[in-house]
Copies of this chain bind each other. A is one copy, B any other.
């Protein structure tokens, strides 16, 4: 069964060790922020710093693992048809739009869509770590400067993850204009096994 996360919304669910999660960009050029927690102890969660350290690269894709703050493997990336993801930037939040984009009004955000959907598991806003930003195209220059460019993903591109522990997963269809080329679209996912 394929689930659809409508534009600018999110979802949260459990995923058993050994199960596969397929995250699909059905229309192309859309980003999905993903956070992971150990289903048995939510104080263990996905860590950008540990993942970049153990995988020795900024660009996390097929063949790499996503690691936790306790130095455990949480997921393996089995397949990645697009190949570009980001693990540098925090999920967009109300403050992202206010500070970076001068928008003081209400704006949906991945941060809100993560913590509201994850609250059923006892996860609070302060517990949300830097997400693994699937399909997000953050380019870095030699001098370190970052730019958030349109995703390179085409309609139907997907990333296939295998859970290497029992997990709670938070997933969004990103709400930020700049991250998805100024067009809000859904994200789809499928749990296999």
User: Is there an interface contact between A130 and B48, defined as CB atoms closer than 8 Å?
Assistant: yes
Most chain B CB atoms below 10 A, which of A96, A128, A131, A146:
A146
User: Is there an interface contact between A90 and B146, defined as CB atoms closer than 8 Å?
Assistant: no
User: Is there an interface contact between B144 and A58, defined as CB atoms closer than 8 Å?
Assistant: yes
User: Is there an interface contact between A57 and B89, defined as CB atoms closer than 8 Å?
Assistant: no
Contact of A93 among B71, B144, B146 (CB under 8 A): B71
Question: Quick one: CB contact mask for A151-189 with B, threshold 8 Å, 1 for yes?
Answer: 000000000000000000000000000000000000000
User: Is there an interface contact between B126 and A47, defined as CB atoms closer than 8 Å?
Assistant: no
User: Is there an interface contact between A130 and B93, defined as CB atoms closer than 8 Å?
Assistant: no
- Can you list 24 A-B pairs, Cβ within 8 angstroms, ordered by A? A43-B126, A44-B126, A47-B90, A48-B88, A48-B130, A49-B88, A49-B89, A49-B91, A50-B90, A53-B96, A53-B100, A54-B99, A56-B146, A57-B144, A57-B145, A58-B144, A59-B143, A59-B144, A69-B90, A70-B95, A70-B126, A130-B130, A140-B140, A142-B142
Interface size class of A (residues with CB under 8 A): 35 or more
Identify the closest chain B residue to A47 (Cβ).
B90
Q: Which of A68-124 contact B (CB under 8 A)?
A: 69-71, 88-91, 93, 95-96, 99-100
Question: Quick one: CB contact mask for A133-152 with B, threshold 8 Å, 1 for yes?
Answer: 00000001011111000000
